[in-house]
């Protein structure tokens, strides 16, 4: 692309994120995966906080994280406080407090098992 414009198809550049004077810690739990998009430089995850319904865009420059949908996660990392906020993932673990939690609604009768014959 000409005119000094960044190539957005390659994803954000790691240089935008890793400036120690602009980095702060973040952590969140009860997060559920909405989507994953792979770029040349990183993977970008969209997560929803099940409690607040906020959606977070998280960046993984290792592109090695195996995140499953329908599972609650606790995620920690760094926030870049430059012109835009970028949340960079440092660690991911299952959310033990919400391990049985699901985004699938329970049946109206509260059952959920197989019908009795």
**Could you tell me if residue 74 is inside a domain?**
yes
Q: What integer is the mean pLDDT of 64-75?
A: 92
**Could you tell me if residue 55 is inside a domain?**
yes
pTM, entire model: 0.65
**Could you tell me if residue 114 is inside a domain?**
no
Least confident of 7-11, 20-24, 41-45, 62-66: 7-11
28-46 pLDDT, tens per residue? 999 999 999 999 999 999 9
Based on the structure, what is the number of domains in the chain?
Answer: 1
99-117 pLDDT, tens per residue? 654 555 555 555 555 555 4
What range does the domain containing 61 cover? Answer: 10-96
pLDDT at 10 over 90: no
**Could you tell me if residue 104 is inside a domain?**
no
**Could you tell me if residue 107 is inside a domain?**
no
**Could you tell me if residue 43 is inside a domain?**
yes
Give the contacts of 78 (CB within 8 A, at least 6 positions apart).
17, 23, 24, 25, 26, 87, 88, 90
d(CA 110, CA 49) in angstroms, rounded, equals: 24
**Could you tell me if residue 106 is inside a domain?**
no
Q: What is the reported pLDDT for 100?
A: 53
Q: What integer is the mean pLDDT of 49-66?
A: 92
Q: Which residue has the tokens 């009860």?
A: 30
CATH number (domain holding residue 50): 2.40.50.140
**Could you tell me if residue 113 is inside a domain?**
no
């Amino acid at each position: 692309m000409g005119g000094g414009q960044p190539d957005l198809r390659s994803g954000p550049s790691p240089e935008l994120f890793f400036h120690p004077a602009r980095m702060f810690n973040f952590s969140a739990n009860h997060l559920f995966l909405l989507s994953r998009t792979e770029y040349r430089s990183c993977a970008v995850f969209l997560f929803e906080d099940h409690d607040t319904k906020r959606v977070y865009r998280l960046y993984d420059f290792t592109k090695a994280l195996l995140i499953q949908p329908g599972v609650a996660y606790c995620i920690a990392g760094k926030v870049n406080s430059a012109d835009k906020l970028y949340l960079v993932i440092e660690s991911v673990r299952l959310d033990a407090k919400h391990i049985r939690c699901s985004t699938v609604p329970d049946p109206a009768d509260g059952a959920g098992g197989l019908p009795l014959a």
